[in-house]
Amino acid sequence: MSVLIVVEHDNQAPRENFRYALAAAGQLGGQIEALVIGENCRAVADIVSHAPGLAAVRVAENIAYKNGLAENCAPLIAEQVGEITHVIMAAGSLARMWLPRAAALADSQMISEIIGIEAADTFVRPIYAGNAFTTVQSLDAVKFLSIRTTAFEPVTGDADTPCKVTAITSGGDSGLTEFIGERVSALERPELTAAQIIISGGRGVGSADNFKLLEALADKLGAGIGASRAAVDEGYAPNDFQVGQTGKIVAPDLYMAVGISGAIQHLAGIRDSKCIVAINKDADAPIFEIADYGLVGDLFEIIPQLQAALEE
Partner 1 sequence: MKALVTVKRVIDPYVKVRVRADGLDVEKNDVKMAMNPFCENALEEALRWKDNGVVTEVVAMSAGGADTAETLRMALAMGADRAILVNTEMLPVPLIAAKLIAAVARREKPEVIWMGKQAADGDFNQTGQMVAALLGWGQGLFLSAATLEDGTVSADSEVDNGIVNVRIKLPCVLTADLRLNQPRYATLPNIMKARRKPMEELTAADLGVDLSPRLKVLRVSEPPPRPSGRKVADAQELVRVLREEAKVLS
In the region spanning residues 185 to 244, those forming contacts with partner 1, defined by CB under 8 A, are: 185, 187, 197, 221, 229, 232-233, 238-240
Cα separation of 28 and 26, whole Å? 5
27 binds partner 1 (CB under 8 A): no
* Three-state SS at 243: strand
20 close to 7: Cβ distance less than 8 angstroms:
no
Q: Output the smallest distance, CB 65 to partner 1, in A.
A: 15
CA atoms within 13 A on the CB side of 231: 34
CA 118 from chain centre, in angstroms, equals 21
Q: Output the smallest distance, CB 39 to partner 1, in A.
A: 16
β-bridge mates for residue 86, sequence order: 3, 143
Among the residue ranges 23-31, 81-89, 150-158, 295-303, the one whose residues contact partner 1 (CB under 8 A): 295-303
CA 215 from chain centre, in angstroms, equals 23
**What does the per-residue mask of binding to partner 1 show for 41-80, with x meaning CB under 8 A?**
--------------------------x-xxx--x------
Nearer to partner 1, 49 or 242 (CB): 242
Among the residue ranges 33-41, 153-161, 198-206, 264-272, the one whose residues contact partner 1 (CB under 8 A): 264-272
Q: Output the smallest distance, CB 92 to partner 1, in A.
A: 5
Count CB atoms within 10 A of the CB of residue 28. Answer: 20
Cα separation of 290 and 275, whole Å? 10
Nearer to partner 1, 32 or 145 (CB): 145
4 binds partner 1 (CB under 8 A): no
